[in-house]
Structure 1
Amino acid sequence: MPKFLDFLAIAEFSQVVLLIFILFVMDKNRKANIFFAAFLFITSSNFFILYLHKLDNQIPTYILASFAIPGISILGALIYQYVLFIAGLLEKFELKHLLKYIIFFVSLGIFIIAAQYFNWTYFEIPQFRIIVLIIISAGFLNSIIYIIYTIVLLKRYHNKIENYYSDLEKMSLNWLMKITSFSFLALILWCIEFLSSQLWINAKNSMIFAMNMIMQIIIFITAYHLINQPEIFRKNIEIGQAVEGPDNSSESEKYSRQNIDEKMQDEYLEKLIRYMNDNKPYLEESITIKDLAEKVQIPAHHLSIVINSRLNKNFYTFINEYRIKEATAILDDPENSDVSIITIVFRTGFNSKSTFNSVFKKITGQTPSKYRDRINLRSKLVS
C-alpha cells in the first residue's frame, strides 16, 4: 500500500501540473483559471509532500510544505472565488478580497519562520505546537465554511439558469458541484487526519488512500470537462444578477412585488399556450425566455411569473416538456419507425443526445429506445 500511495502522489502531482499548463495556455478567462489552478496545485501538493518526505530531501519538502500546508486554509475560498468569476458575479479581484486569505498569510508566516529557525522541530515545542494547531484548525474550518457556501451558490445558480435557458449544456456547472462536494469530503478526512497526527495517532493508510482517490476523481472530472466543456474555462457565463437574486422559496413574497394581477396572468397564459401550439418555438435549440418573450410579446419577467406561478415550472422544464411531447408524437407514428433517435434529437430542439435521453427518461419514465420498443411491440400485437 505505501508504494502504491507514493505512485498516486507522483501521478496526481504530474497530472495537476499538466492541467494547470492547459488552463494557462487558454488565452481567455485567465483570472478565473488562476484560482482553480491554485486550488488544484495546493490539493495535490499536500499529497506530494508525503512522498518527498520519505526521500529525506528536506529543502524541496520544506519549501513546498511551507506553501501547501497553510494553503489548505484557502482551498474553500479559492473554489468560491472561481465560481464567482465564471458565474459572472465577479469581474476583477480587489484588495478587499484578500480578507478571505488572512489565515493563509498568518500560517504561511509561521511555517516559514519554523522552517528557518527551528528546522521543522517546532512541533516538539509545546507552546509553538499549540499555536500551529489552532491556526491550521482554523484554516480547515475556514475552507469547510467556504466550501459549504460554494455549494449553496452553485445550487442557486442552477435554479436561476433553469428559469432563463432551455439548453443548459454549455453553462451547467454540475461538474463543479461534484468537485466541490468531493473537496468537502476530502477536507473532512484531511481534518481528521491532521488532528489525529497532532494527538500522536498515525493516520491509517486507508484514510490516505481514500483522500488520494478523491483527488483522482477531481482530476478526472476537471480533465473530462476541459475536453467536453472548454467554453467554461475560456469565458465567464453572463448571467450575473440572475444568480444573485432571491431563491424560489416563497412564491407569494416573490411575486407580490410584481405589478401583474391574476387576470393578466391568465390572459398571458392563454396567449402563451396558443403561441406554443401554433408556432412551436421550442424547436429552436437555444431559445431563451427573452427570445420567447419577444416572440409572444409578453415582458420577460411577466412571462417568468406566469410559467412559475401558473404552471409551477421553470422555463427549462416548460420548454423541454413540449420537446418531449413532440418526440413521443414522432415515435408514436408508425411511419417514423425508420427515423433514428439522433434525428429525433435535433428535430425536437435538443442539441445533445445525452440531454435528450436524460430529459426523456425524467418525463416519461423510460429511455427513448425502450419507449420505441414498446410502441413497436404494441403495433405488432394490434396487427
Structure 2
Amino acid sequence: MDKTNILNTITLITIFVMLLLAFFLLSVKAKNKLSNRLFAGFLLLTTFDLTSFLTGSYFETNLNFEIFRMTISLLIMPVFYLYVKSVCYSDFRLKSKHLLLLIPFVVANLVFIPRFYLATATESISIYEQFKQMPEIRFFYILAELQYAFYIILVFIILKKYKEIYLENYTNANNSSYKWLFQMTVFFLIAHCIVLFKSLIRYTDYNVLFNSSNAIIGAIALLISCWFVLKALNNPELFKGVDSNMLLVNEALHTKGSAKAKEPSETPKSAEIALQIELVKKHVIENEPYLEPSLTIQELAKQVSIPVRDLSVLINHHMNQHFFDFVNEFRIQKAMQILKDASKSKHTILEILYEVGFNSKSSFNTAFKKHTNQTPTEFRKASL
C-alpha cells in the first residue's frame, strides 16, 4: 500500500470517528446542550477541512469547491473559541455580536469572487498551475495564520482566567474541564505547527517531506479524534462552568476602589478585617461546612452573611489564600485528627478523604502533603 492509500485510509477513519462523535453530541440528551452543539459544529468543520486529503484530483475541475473548503477552515477557530467559552462559563449564550466572528470568512470569500469563483473552466486550469503564486492565495494563508494566532492566544487567556476564578471560588482543585480544554488546546497548537511546517515546505523543493507530513497530520488527527471519544465515554459529566459575572480578586478590588473614589469612605480598618476573619474561621470550625465536597464561596457567604465579593477579597487578598486552600486546610486538620485517633485506625484513607469533604484521592493526597509535607499514610504511621 503506497503513501497515498495509507493517507486516504487514515483520513476516512478519522472522518468516520469525528462524524460519529458529532452525531452523538447532537443527539444525546445533556445539560450542556450549547457546548455539545458547538463541539459538534467544530468536529463537522474539521471533518470538512480534512477532506482536502481526498480531493487531489478533484481540485482541477472543481475549483469553487476547493476554495470554499479552504475558506470554511476560517470558521474552525471561532467555533472552538465559542466552545471554550461555553464550557468555562455556565451562563454563556450565543448573541448577535458573535456574528462578527464571521468577518474573516466573509472577507476571504469576497476576495476570491473575481478571479476564482467566477473563473471559467479554462481559467481554472491556469489558476491551478499558478495557484501557489497567486496573491489571493497568499493573502488567505496570511489571514488564516493571523486569525489562528489571535484565537489561540485568546483561548489561553480565557483558560488562565477561568482557572484563577475557579480556585478563588470553588473547593475542588481537581478541575477536569480545565485540564480537558488546556490539553485539547495544546494538542491543536502542536498539530497546527505541523500543518504550518507542511505549508512552508510546500513552497520549497522538499516535496518528499510534504507527503510524509500529510501522513503525520492524518495520524495525529486520528489520535486526537479517538482521544475525544475516550474522553466522552469516560467523562460523560465532564464540564462544570463558572458564572461569567464572577470577578477575580484583583478586579473586585479595582471595582471596589473605583466606587469608593466616587463615594468617599474609609476602607475597613485592620481590626475590622481581623474580626471578620475570626468570625469566618469560627463559623467554619463550629459548623464544618467544608464537609460538603461541592462547597462554593457563594454558599459560605450566605452562611456567614457576608457579600460574596467581600468574602472573596477577605480570603484571597487579606488571608492570602485561594478559597480551595482555605477550605482544604480545615479538611486536612479534620483528616489529621482522624488519622491520629487510634480507635479509627481501621478506617481506610479512601473512607477518611470522603468523610472530610474530598471527592478525589489525588486531590486529597496533594492537599495533605502540601499542608504536612507527608502523605496520609506516612502521617498515620508517625502518629500512632
Report the TM range for the smaller structure's normalisation. 0.7 to 0.9
Write out per-residue CA displacement over residues 251-279 of structure 1, whole angstroms, 9 at most, x where no aligned residue.
Answer: 97466457534322111111112222222
**Post-superposition offset of 1:63:** 8.0
**Secondary structure class of the residue paired with 2:94:** coil
**Secondary structure class of the residue paired with 1:239:** coil
Task: Say whether residues 1:230 and 2:264 are aligned partners.
Answer: no
CA distance in structure 1 between the aligned counterparts of 2:323 and 2:301, rounded to whole angstroms: 11
2:46 counterpart (29, 39, 43): 43
Task: Say whether residues 1:352 and 2:363 are aligned partners.
Answer: no
Task: Say whether residues 1:218 and 2:224 are aligned partners.
Answer: yes
**Post-superposition offset of 1:23:** 0.8
1:291 partner letter: E
**Secondary structure class of the residue paired with 2:177:** coil
Write out per-residue CA displacement over residues 30-57 of structure 1, whole angstroms, 9 at most, x where no aligned residue.
Answer: 443333223223334444431x246x46
1:218 partner letter: I
CA distance in structure 2 between the aligned counterparts of 1:60 and 1:275, rounded to whole angstroms: 75
Q: Is the 8 A contact 2:172 2:293 kept in 1?
A: yes
Aligned to 1:179: 184
Aligned to 2:381: 376
1:12 partner letter: T
CA distance in structure 2 between the aligned counterparts of 1:31 and 1:16, rounded to whole angstroms: 18
**Post-superposition offset of 1:204:** 4.2
Write out per-residue CA displacement over residues 359-383 of structure 1, whole angstroms, 9 at most, x where no aligned residue.
Answer: 44554556x5xx415643775xxxx
Task: Say whether residues 1:124 and 2:121 are aligned partners.
Answer: no
CA distance in structure 2 between the aligned counterparts of 1:21 and 1:305, rounded to whole angstroms: 45
**Post-superposition offset of 1:65:** 4.4
Relative distance call for 1:360 and 1:167 in structure 2 (3 A) is: same
1:290 counterpart (286, 298, 301): 298
Aligned to 1:101: 102
Aligned to 2:15: 13
1:81 partner letter: L
Q: Is the 8 A contact 1:42 1:68 kept in 2?
A: no
Q: Is the 8 A contact 1:74 1:139 kept in 2?
A: no
Relative distance call for 1:13 and 1:362 in structure 2 (3 A) is: farther
**Post-superposition offset of 1:346:** 1.3
**Post-superposition offset of 1:350:** 1.7
Aligned to 2:243: 239
TM-score with structure 1 length normalisation? 0.81
Relative distance call for 1:378 and 1:324 in structure 2 (3 A) is: closer
Q: Is the 8 A contact 2:350 2:361 kept in 1?
A: yes
Task: Say whether residues 1:142 and 2:147 are aligned partners.
Answer: yes
Aligned to 2:316: 308
Aligned to 1:155: 160
**Post-superposition offset of 1:304:** 1.1
| Of 189-198 and 103-112, the range deviating more from structure 2 | 103-112
CA distance in structure 2 between the aligned counterparts of 1:82 and 1:62, rounded to whole angstroms: 31
CA distance in structure 2 between the aligned counterparts of 1:292 and 1:90, rounded to whole angstroms: 24
CA distance in structure 1 between the aligned counterparts of 2:325 and 2:125, rounded to whole angstroms: 58
Aligned to 2:331: 323
CA distance in structure 2 between the aligned counterparts of 1:84 and 1:14, rounded to whole angstroms: 27
TM-score with structure 2 length normalisation? 0.81
Equivalent residue runs for 1:260-299 within 5 Å = 260-299=268-307
Q: Is the 8 A contact 2:335 2:356 kept in 1?
A: yes
**Post-superposition offset of 1:195:** 3.1
CA distance in structure 1 between the aligned counterparts of 2:299 and 2:359, rounded to whole angstroms: 18
C-alpha RMSD of matched pairs (Å) = 3.5
CA distance in structure 2 between the aligned counterparts of 1:78 and 1:265, rounded to whole angstroms: 45
Relative distance call for 1:223 and 1:127 in structure 2 (3 A) is: closer
Task: Say whether residues 1:32 and 2:40 are aligned partners.
Answer: no
CA distance in structure 2 between the aligned counterparts of 1:341 and 1:60, rounded to whole angstroms: 67
CA distance in structure 1 between the aligned counterparts of 2:13 and 2:117, rounded to whole angstroms: 31
**Secondary structure class of the residue paired with 2:171:** coil
